[in-house]
Amino acid sequence: MKNPEEIFELLKTEFADVILGIDKETPTEPIIAVDPTQISKVGLFLRDNVALKFDSLMVLSGVDDANGTKVKDEDGTDMISGGTLSVYYHLHSTNLKHKITLKVSTPRENPQVESVYNVWRTSDWHEREAYDMFGIIFLNHPDLRRILMPYDWEAGYPLRKDYKNPEFYKGMKVPY
Amino acid sequence: MKQYLKNTFDGIFTVLVGMKVTFKHLFTPAVTIQYPDVKVKLPDRVRNRLYVNMDDCIGCDQCSRACPVSCIEIETVKSIPGEDLGITSNGKKKALWVTKFNIDIAKCCYCQLCVFPCPTECIYMTDVYEFAEYERSNFLYKFATLTDEEAAQKKINYEKLQAEKAAAAAKPKPETPAQTENKPE
Amino acid sequence: MALKTETMVLNMGPQHPSTHGVLRLELDIEGELILGVKPHIGYLHRCFEKHAEAMTYPQVIPYTDRLDYLAAMGNNFGYVTTVEKLLGIQIPERVEYIRVIMAELQRIASHLVAIATNGADIGALTPFLYLFRDREYILSLFEMTCGARMLYNYMWIGGLSHDIHPDFVRKTKEFIIHFRPTIVELNNLLTFNKIFIERTANIGILPVDTAINFGASGPVLRGSGLPFDVRKEDPYSIYNRFDFEIPTGKGLVGTVGDCWDRYYVRVLEMEQSLRIIEQAIDKIPEGDVHSAIPKRIKPPKGTVYSRVENPRGELGYFIISDGNLNPFRVKVRAPSFVNLELMGELCKGHLVADVIAILGSLDIVLGEIDR
Amino acid sequence: MYQFLYDLIGNEILAGLLVAVVPLTIILVFALFGIWLERKVSAHMQDRLGPMRTGWHGWLQTVADLMKMLQKEDIIATDADKTLYNIAPVLVFTGSFAAYAVIPFSSKLLGSEVEIGLFYVLAISSLVVAGILMAGWSANNKYSLLGAMRAAAQIISYEIPTALIVLSMVMLTGTLSLDKISQMQTSSFWNWNIFGGAIFGLSKFLLIPFMIVGALIIFTSTLAEVNRVPFDIPEAESELVAGYFTEYCGMKWGMFMLAEYGNMFAVSAIIAILFFGGYQSPIGYLGNSIGAQWLVPFEQGFWFIAKGLTLVFVQMWLRWTLPRLRVDQLMTVCWKYLIPFAFINLIIIGIISLI
């Protein structure tokens, strides 16, 4: 059983500058920020280290931070350019009963995060969902397709804050 | 061989046990009812079709704002001085003409969130649950008691008053439009 | 001479009697043997997460009802505890007790459906009807309390929509007395039936380390033998006050982690839920269920992840607040969504008929998979 | 029956037609009644009411359904093999209907008094397999195909234990004629084959347990032959939607249904004849005791139908109690359990009948 600060120290000594920082401001749990291209390695360490044993990924969630520059377009939607998309990893150890939250941020225009498929298999569909909803590309994911939306949905990524519903999908009217 | 005989015995025995259970139920009375002929007594808190008692409605728009699916549409016009709109049953004075009070019951999700904020308890859920219709447009329930002409008249009255006021004070007050939430569907 | 054979792709669903909703399974079969299973989901996608971003916090509650529509109380519970954690408010004792009782009743109701449909998938239609009869009783209890039978919108942030009905305590006690014999009857009729055992034992074996790696939770994980229950692990509400056990799969008739174990864990869990209700029902303190409901719900900036034990497993809500009236992001960790991922792993090497048994034992609800 | 009608009418063709009409009427009326009974039995076992609106306790419900089925549009899938698709239900129905030709409903009412009745029934009921295979193949649907393959494997396998038990009964009675087997078990239920038949002495008591085992085996295997739960895997509505008749609709589907219920009664009748005395009354005839000989065939008819329906009821009872087996387990039950037991049973009965 370790608290997030101890885990942060442990990670910092192991990976140095891959670990970007710890955010203790949030009211509930501290968040450790990690380099998006190294998350798989960090995950593997978290899972296999005997003192940590984070064997379970509770949830992987994509988030549109909406922190870029906003420009109103003609119908009033904020079009966002720049800024980041984030992925949150909530980890849990069924053995040692501690929890930790990781966060990676990736630029909105070219969102690329390394997949943790090889660490926690459960991330398979979660990553597909994050791809489907935010367009975050998970590198090394074996089967990165859309999951909830139709496979041939071309109107973008629905959970981004500047998403606009298309008028038609294959000749069917979308807004009812 | 022992396992083989045990399997045979288990198979026959558990089948017989199961048959005993179902045979017992052959003679227990049915729990289902002949629905349209016999009806279940609904509990008093039951949540079904919405109803608005327009005598009590003060047009405050709180139900419409509480609705998560935006199925309530309200438009109001301010009354002009001298018009008596009456008071609600719990003693609130009405000040707005409700020119439009539409509930699209086909959209309603029966969550009852509109019922709680109502200051006069005029919107509530009844126990009517059989209200199927052949036309979708029939689900748009119009509760406003004013006819269209009356509503138009009220609007003209109010605008006239505004114009008079504006003329008097040269500072017109903007009309409060009905507030409805815009949500992506 | 070798005969030319080819694998056949069998499209099971989206319209199929036992895919529990609009799930499509793409089966690669050779004769009756399964070579691979690919689930395709999204037919019931209703944009819950997008909707939630446009709603105020209390308005999201009716939408959470519709996630796992067989356990709407649990969804409400998870959402309101998460938002309460974000707001940092104290809940009256009475509310906590009523919430726990409702959640446990809902767990029984949901497990009844799970067991019943698992049985019906395998061909036993009669237990299905018996269990639905008892589920009706629970739904009537809910209807008496909040007026709705399925989609309750009952638990509110800081309180409840209605206080319990004056008859509620008496009727719940009646239900407990009435319900225990049903479990015995179920065991006689289905659980220990030789054919049922043959169909489910040693089928779809899920070893515990695979289960954890796949993030399985709830009866699926417990069926594999790991006593993991959020109610004990990470006690929320007032669960730490009650005395109950976590049933796990023991491989009573087959291997640990097979379909029968997952099924039997649910049967045993109903008994444990009854125990919790029995302990809680007499101790409901006096109080006002509306007193702690904030007038204006505007949480501070921050992120929160909180989880509850829903009948199907660990239901988590990840909420990011940017200090506005509506949440910035709501992500639901739906237990069925995660559990369904196991399908491809569990079905390999089994027969077509086993796919149904395995799917039934995972007990998925498409409402929360597709959200 | 034929002889009687021929003497009465004096026209071969007319007499032949009349003979055929009787079982047809019975099978149709029974199917209607059977479907209603199934619904009511299932409903009451599940604490439901079942059909209640058409007539007293819904007894006209199946008639109403039949009306609906007759009026339905006959849809044939584009890719279906139309010829086979259309022949299949007829063939299945013919197979089940033709079995009625030799079943003696009473000592006077039997279609054909052939000496090899039992053999004929076994042979003709295998015709159903061809029909099912045709239905499954021609519909060009993967579920249908799987269902048909399962059905073929199942029905052919389960012919074996059936045949073995029939063989042991033939060995004991020394005849293949269903009418003669019925006649042997006359006067009292003690003379039924399940109680060792109309013989005396030690061998009768030795036979009883083996006869009971034999009756159980033939009941189980015929259950499988008519595709009833727990052996309804060719239909298996939760796996294969409706198995080999997934694509059928309207009256063609209705013919499968009629054939199923016709078959149910046919196999029940065979078991009743082999083990439960056929049309013989267990307690003697009222007609004999009051001296009205004409009453006896009617009483026999009553007893026969009653025995058949009891067995049909047990089939339904089982259906609404048990889950269904998997396809490999079905084969296990047949080859590893029923056939060895049936074979041992055959040998022991043979030995006992020698002493």
Task: Please state whether at least 3 CB pairs lie below 8 Å between chains C and B.
Answer: yes
Give residue limits of the domains in chain B: 1-31, 50-169
State the smallest CA–CA distance between residue A70 and chain C in angstroms. Answer: 16
Residue C31's contacts (CB-CB under 8 Å, 6 or more residues apart) are none
3-state secondary structure chain A: CCCHHHHHHHHHHHHHHHEEEEECCCCCCCEEEECCCCHHHHHHHHHHCCCCCCCEEEEEEEEECCCCEEEECCCCCEEEECCEEEEEEEEECCCCCCEEEEEEEEECCCCEEECCCCCCCCHHHHHHHHHHHHCCEEECCCCCCCCCCCCCCCCCCCCCCCCCCCCEECCEECCC
Q: What is the crossing angle of helices C93-122 and C72-87, to 10°?
A: 140
pLDDT tens digits along C132-185: 888 888 888 888 888 888 888 888 888 888 888 888 888 888 888 888 888 888
Contacting chains of D (3 CB pairs or more, <8 Å) are B, C
Using the Cα atoms of residue C200, residue C203, residue C206 and residue C207 in order, give the sign of their dihedral.
positive
From the number of C-beta atoms within 10 Å of its C-beta (0-12, 13-18, 19+), residue B35 rates as: exposed
Contacting chains of A (3 CB pairs or more, <8 Å) are B, C
Residue C260 has pLDDT above 80, yes or no: yes
Asked which of A73-77, C76-80, C261-265 is least confident by mean pLDDT, the reply is A73-77
ipTM surpasses 0.85? no
Asked if C194 reaches chain B (Cβ–Cβ under 8 Å), the answer is: yes
- Please tell me the predicted confidence (pLDDT) of residue B184: 45
Residue C16 has pLDDT above 70, yes or no: yes
Which residues of chain B have a CB within 8 Å of the CB of A175? 185
- Select from C63, C64, C131, C153 the residue whose CB has the most chain B CBs within 10 Å, as the one to mutate to test that interface: C153
pTM: 0.87
- Please tell me the predicted confidence (pLDDT) of residue B182: 47
pLDDT tens digits along C278-293: 888 888 888 888 888 8
Asked if D212 reaches chain B (Cβ–Cβ under 8 Å), the answer is: no
State the smallest CA–CA distance between residue C222 and chain D in angstroms. Answer: 25
Q: Do C165 and B45 touch (CB under 8 A)?
A: yes
Residue D60's contacts (CB-CB under 8 Å, 6 or more residues apart) are D54
Give residue limits of the domains in chain C: 47-370
What residues of B are in the C interface, CB distance below 8 Å?
7, 10-11, 13-15, 17-18, 20-22, 25, 31, 42-43, 45-47, 66, 68, 109-113, 116, 125, 183-184
Decide: B26 and B116 in contact? Cβ < 8 Å. Answer: no
- Please tell me the predicted confidence (pLDDT) of residue B177: 47
**All domains in chain A, ordered by first residue:** 4-173 (3.30.460.80)
Q: Do D48 and B30 touch (CB under 8 A)?
A: yes
Region at C157 (left for phi over 0; alpha for psi -120 to 50; beta for the rest): beta
State the smallest CA–CA distance between residue D184 and chain B in angstroms. Answer: 31
Mean pLDDT of D30-47: 85
Q: Do C226 and A94 touch (CB under 8 A)?
A: yes
3-state secondary structure B10-52: HHHHHHHHHHHHHHHHHCCCCCCCCCCCCCCCCCCCCCCCEEE
pLDDT tens digits along C91-141: 888 888 888 888 888 999 999 988 888 888 888 888 888 888 888 888 888
Which residues of chain D have a CB within 8 Å of the CB of B34? 49, 52
Which residues of chain C have a CB within 8 Å of the CB of A97? 233
Q: Do C121 and D328 touch (CB under 8 A)?
A: no
pLDDT tens digits along D145-167: 888 888 888 888 888 888 888 88
Output the CATH code of domain B50-169. Answer: 3.30.70.3270
- Please tell me the predicted confidence (pLDDT) of residue C253: 84
The number of residues making up chain C comes to 371
Chain B from 165 to 184: CB within 8 A of any A CB: 184
Q: Do C356 and D45 touch (CB under 8 A)?
A: no
- Please tell me the predicted confidence (pLDDT) of residue C1: 59
Mean pLDDT of D37-44: 87
- Please tell me the predicted confidence (pLDDT) of residue B178: 45
Question: In the predicted model, what is the mean pLDDT of chain D?
Answer: 82
User: Which chain B residue has its CA at the smallest distance from D230's CA?
Assistant: B15
3-state secondary structure chain C: CCCCCCCEEEEECCCCCCCCCCCEEEEEEECCEEEEEEEECCCCCCCHHHHHHHCCHHHHHHHHHCCCCCCHHHHHHHHHHHHHHHHCCCCCHHHHHHHHHHHHHHHHHHHHHHHHHHHHHHCCHHHHHHHHHHHHHHHHHHHHHHCCCCCCCCEECCEECCCCCCCHHHHHHHHHHHHHHHHHHHHHHHHCCHHHHHHHCCCCCCCHHHHHHCCCCCHHHHHCCCCCCHHHHCCCCCHHHCCCCCCCCCCCCCCCCCHHHHHHHHHHHHHHHHHHHHHHHCCCCCCCCCCCCCCCCCCCCEEEEEEEEECCEEEEEEEEECCCCCCCEEEEECHHHHHHCCHHHHHCCCEHHHHHHHHHHHCCCHHHHHC
CATH fold for the domain made of C47-370: Cytochrome-c3 Hydrogenase; chain B (1.10.645)
Q: Do A61 and C371 touch (CB under 8 A)?
A: no
Q: What is the DSSP string of D124-178?
A: HHTHHHHHHHHHHHHTT-HHHHHHHHHHHHHHHHHHHHHHHHHHHHHHHH----H
The stretches in chain B having pLDDT less than 50 are 172, 176-185
Residue, of D199 and A63, whose pLDDT is higher: A63
When pLDDT is cut at 50, 70 and 90, the band that residue A27 belongs to is low
- Please tell me the predicted confidence (pLDDT) of residue A20: 75
Other CB atoms within 10 A of residue D96 CB:
29
- Please tell me the predicted confidence (pLDDT) of residue C213: 86
Q: Do C41 and A28 touch (CB under 8 A)?
A: no
- Select from C125, C192, C193 the residue whose CB has the most chain D CBs within 10 Å, as the one to mutate to test that interface: C125
User: Which chain A residue has its CA at the smallest distance from B185's CA?
Assistant: A175
Q: Do C351 and D42 touch (CB under 8 A)?
A: no
Which residues of chain A have a CB within 8 Å of the CB of B104? none
Residue D262's contacts (CB-CB under 8 Å, 6 or more residues apart) are D27, D30, D31, D93, D96, D97, D100
Q: Do D47 and B21 touch (CB under 8 A)?
A: no
When pLDDT is cut at 50, 70 and 90, the band that residue A176 belongs to is low
When pLDDT is cut at 50, 70 and 90, the band that residue D94 belongs to is confident
pLDDT tens digits along A83-118: 788 888 888 888 888 888 888 888 888 888 888 888
- Please tell me the predicted confidence (pLDDT) of residue C256: 85
Question: In the predicted model, what is the mean pLDDT of chain A?
Answer: 81
Find the CB nearest A26 among C45, C302, C337: C302
Q: Do B113 and C144 touch (CB under 8 A)?
A: no
Interatomic CA distance for residues C94 and C97, integer angstroms: 5
CA–CA distance from C324 to each of A17, A40, C9, C55, C300 (Å)? 34, 34, 50, 11, 8
User: Which chain B residue has its CA at the smallest distance from A175's CA?
Assistant: B185
Residue C219 has pLDDT above 60, yes or no: yes
Q: Do B26 and D52 touch (CB under 8 A)?
A: no
Residue D191 has pLDDT above 70, yes or no: yes
- Please tell me the predicted confidence (pLDDT) of residue D1: 61
- Please tell me the predicted confidence (pLDDT) of residue D2: 66
pLDDT tens digits along D291-317: 777 777 788 888 888 888 888 888 888
Using the Cα atoms of residue D96, residue D98, residue D104 and residue D110 in order, give the sign of their dihedral.
positive
